[in-house]
Amino acid sequence: MVAFLLRSVLLLALMLAASPGNALAAPRVDARAKAWVAGVVSRIGMADRARAAGRGGQVTIRVRIDAKGGLDGVEIEDGPVALGERAARAAQAAAPFPPPPAGLLTLEGFTELSFPLTLR
């Protein structure tokens, strides 16, 4: 589970750091932003209370978090409907989150994260 979370965070960090103007530039990601993303992913995974043997799997979710850390939306991008509903409940239970670092906020004042979540 920890290895999966770290891989998800690293993939997300690389996506956040990609510079559209210079594809050859090495991606640089603020350590605080990495830690915040890792915390959100971990917190949602730990909030899943519907663990049941043989009923786990993976879904991809997208969460929208406002500047104060409130959950402004959750969408299921891929995976079984039942697991998606479980993931959405886990995201709602995990909120509110710590406020996102300013560098992750859009001009509208939110951030969106899309990541795979493994439910057991």
- Each domain of the chain, given as residue ranges in start order, spans 2-19+29-119
Q: pLDDT digits over 69-103, tens only?
A: 999 999 999 999 999 999 999 999 999 999 999 99
Contact 100, 36 (CB under 8 A): yes
CATH class of 2-19+29-119: alpha beta
Give percent of the chain with pLDDT exceeding 90.
61
Find, among 52, 61, 54, 92, the residue nearest to 79 by Cα.
Answer: 61
CA-angle at 36, arms to 41 and 5, nearest 5°: 35
Q: Which of 16-30, 40-54, 95-109 is most confident?
A: 95-109
> What is the Cα–Cα distance from 93 to 88, expressed in whole angstroms?
9
Instruction: State yes or no: pLDDT of 104 exceeds 70.
Output: yes
